[in-house]
Chains A and B, each alone.
Chain A
Amino acid sequence: MLLDPGFLIVQTLNGLQLAALLFLLSVGLSVVFGLMNFINLAHGTLFMAGAYLALSAVRAFDSFWLALLLAPLGVAVLGGLLYLVLLRHLERADPMRQVLATFGLIFVGVEVVDLVWGSLPHTIAVPPVLAGSSLILGQVYPTYRLFIIALGVLLFALLYAALERTRLGAVVRAGVDDRDMVAALGINIGSVFLLVFCLGCLLAGLAGAVAAPVFSIFPGMDLSVLILALIVVVLGGPGSLKGVAAGSLIIGVVDTYGQVVVPELARLTVYGLMAAILLYKPAGLIPVRGAR
């Protein structure tokens, strides 16, 4: 099985597709962790919100592309509200309270979704343009999944350029490196946090909307991706964009192959990997310079 090139190509593409989604999902979590030393357990909930908002947008406007635009924006607004109403007040709290407040949000999120959209699973149709299959490296592969991979690559490039070229990017890089120094330079770190947090939510929402036609949409879809995203962040090193990309690739491919090749071990190895990285490379595989 492992020597069949067709199998390898398809599974690798599956892995890359998962990696692209994980990348979109984890960027926000990672940057917020790096910048504010804050683990937002409700990040998966924002991913789920993106999928459900996309579902409603498709129903209302009958356009996947409009949904792809609106859902992330909606999630960004939601995230902004969340930050202003709740998370901002926890900035000085100990890590336990931060983690547990966002833990409570998970339950609220699942039930709100259940109340509004019902408990039955939903799906979104793939847009007609991307509905078919393409021939790639001699294998037939769903076009939409190739689109997800392309989107992941594109956004990595965009974010990389933004981080290197823009003023906000410079502030974020400096903030991850040494937060107090940035505050001492007179930069309003609060509004930077809000902006970065919203941007991270936007990307999580985008991940949810993009994932909607592939995964089924149901209350609780957030829990399994949340843990994967946490692992990606730990693996790559909090606050590192390249780290998130590398972590997503590793987890995407390892998890995909693991499920197929050694199903009895699958997640056990991924959690073990996470624990080992925390112990021996607590700053991640691609640590941000100056970070612990």
Chain B
Amino acid sequence: MRSRDRWQLPAAALLAAAAAAVWWRADLFTMELLAEVAILAIFTMSLQLLVGVTGMVSLGHAGFLAAGAYTTAAATLFWGWPPAAALVLSVAVAALLAAAAGLFVIRLSGVFFIMITLAVGQMFHAFFFRAQRFGGDNGLAGTPRIDLAALGLDSGAPGTFAAFALICAALVYLLLLLVTRSPFGMMLGAIHQNESRLASLGCPVRRYKLAAFTAAGAVAGVAGALTAQHTGFISPDLAFWTFSGEALIIVILGGSGSLAGAAAGAAVFVLLRDLLSSGSFWSGLSLPPELASHWQLFMGMLFIAVVLAARDGLYGRLAWLIEALHTRRRARR
């Protein structure tokens, strides 16, 4: 797996090229999907830092996304902040909450870590569900999008917002790639492999885990702020634990530890959901189009298949492909 690390950048470049190509020719609906892919990719990449790199399996990560989304909604709607400033505040709030929760959860590991993060995520859900100020279970509508008028652009246009979201995703990717390849990232990877030995070598493991949990929460806050901007509507469902579970499946699908894989997984997830829930797909297979309303059945089966079968995930396949092309070209020379 390590030896394939050098395909991280090529794989990411391939993904970026594909996204740009789709964006170039996309209709309005596809633009919405692209924006959704980009935002989900930011979220799953942040979870990858936690799960695939550091080995901390959180089933409550959606709580921090929701915190970011509600912060943006509250700052813009209640206090009239510009969305760009609200985005910064969202990151700060999500990071702060992740740090506070992290102080407690990092003491546990294994299945107990999964359970306590589930409980923490559900606390966010219960809070937003009951908080009348934030619209309770009805959620909040009307969050404005970022103002790009200074660049002569209208972020209300699906294509413009999709491009904005994709650029954000690319920046988050580059930032997280730098982090995973830094000495700090080396330590996180080593924590995944052998925490106690790393401590014996002098690494204050808990502090590093707390930093990873906080950083992942902060990036999830970015995804939350963009979610609020994209749909304009947010609800407590954003914090529900099944969303965290789906993100974990995407991370596994993407391949353990790979940021590009997590982004590719997000794209595959959104596309599959769109495909399976469209009647024309099923009638195209000469199957009853009503199956479209049961898309979750097939999604669930795919989840199980992914968990059982995925070893090195989409990134592994991607790396294998690039490697094969590479060696063939060299052989021809």
Contact = CB atoms under 8 A, between A and B. Distances in A.
A/B touching: CB–CB < 8 A: yes
Interface in A166-191: none
Label chain A's interface by main secondary structure. helix
B123 A268 contact: yes
B110 interface: yes
Contacts of A104: 249, 300-304, 307
A100 B132 CA distance: 33
B123 A97 contact: no
A247 to B, nearest CB: 14
A92 interface: no
A230 B296 CA distance: 23
A107 B111 CA distance: 21
B107 A268 contact: no
Contacts of B111: 37, 39, 95, 99
Given A267-B126, A271-B126, A278-B119, A96 B51 contact: yes
Given A227-B122, A230-B118, A266 B296 contact: no
Label chain B's interface by main secondary structure. helix
A218 to B, nearest CB: 15
Interface string B244-260: 01001100100000000
A231 B119 CA distance: 9
Nearest to B113: A95
Nearest to B136: A264
Contacts of A263: 130
Of A99, A109, A110, most buried by chain B (CB within 10 Å of CB) is A99
A31 interface: no
B294 interface: yes
Interface in A94-119: 95-97, 99-101, 103-112, 114-115
Contacts, number: 117
A106 B297 CA distance: 9
Contact of A100 (B130, B245, B294, B301): B245
B297 A112 contact: yes
A275 B130 contact: no
A115 B304 contact: no
B304 A282 contact: no
A230 B115 contact: yes
Interface in B37-79: 51, 57, 59
Given A89-B308, A104-B307, A115-B294, A39 B300 contact: no
A100 B297 contact: no
A88 to B, nearest CB: 12
A86 B304 CA distance: 9
A138 interface: no
A111 B252 CA distance: 23
Interface in B277-333: 294, 296-297, 299-304, 307-308
A204 B130 CA distance: 29
Given A268-B126, A275-B120, A105 B304 contact: yes
Contacts of B294: 111, 114-115
A101 B114 contact: no
Interface in B81-126: 104, 107-108, 110-112, 114-116, 118-120, 122-123, 126
Nearest to B302: A104
Contacts of A124: none
Nearest to A101: B307
Contacts of A96: 51, 57, 114, 248, 252
Contacts of A271: 119-120, 122-123, 126
Given A37-B111, A263-B130, 17 more contacts: A39-B114, A86-B308, A95-B57, A96-B51, A96-B114, A100-B307, A101-B303, A101-B304, A104-B303, A108-B297, A108-B301, A223-B242, A234-B115, A266-B130, A271-B119, A275-B119, A278-B115
Interface of A: 37, 39, 86, 89-90, 95-97, 99-101, 103-112, 114-115, 223, 227, 230-231, 234, 263-268, 271-272, 274-275, 278-279, 282
The 9 closest A-B pairs by CB, nearest first: A107-B300, A104-B303, A111-B297, A108-B300, A104-B304, A267-B126, A95-B111, A268-B126, A96-B57
